[in-house]
Amino acid sequence: MPKLPVVRARDCIKVLQRIGFTVSRQNGSHITLHRDNPAARTTVPNHGTLKPGMLHKIIKDAGLTVDEFIDLLK
């Protein structure tokens, strides 16, 4: 598995939107996104760059692999 890149929250949200997620709500600095088919939901903290553990959880919640996420970043 490749090393996770340093990713800003807004770039992560753009990747999630490319695969069908839409912003459902925002509570403070946390943005919740959801997708209907296949059903998935994740929350992205809008705090600048994401820490590796949080990014890994978002990728897992989205049903992606790290390789797929990195490809979508490009």
Asked, for residue 64, whether it belongs to a domain, the answer is yes
Asked, for residue 23, whether it belongs to a domain, the answer is yes
Helices (H), the chain: 9-18, 52-62, 66-73
**Per-residue pLDDT tens digits for 26-71:** 999 999 999 999 999 999 999 999 999 999 999 999 999 999 999 9
Asked, for residue 47, whether it belongs to a domain, the answer is yes
Asked, for residue 28, whether it belongs to a domain, the answer is yes
**CATH code, domain with 33:** 3.30.920.30
8 A C-beta contact, residue 23 and residue 14: no
How many domains does one find in the chain?
A: 1
pLDDT of residue 3: 85
Asked, for residue 2, whether it belongs to a domain, the answer is no
Written as six digits, the tokens of 23 are 């912003």
pLDDT of residue 20: 95
pLDDT of residue 52: 93
Residue 22: give the domain boundaries: 9-73
**Per-residue pLDDT tens digits for 1-31:** 678 889 999 999 999 999 999 999 999 999 9
pLDDT of residue 1: 66
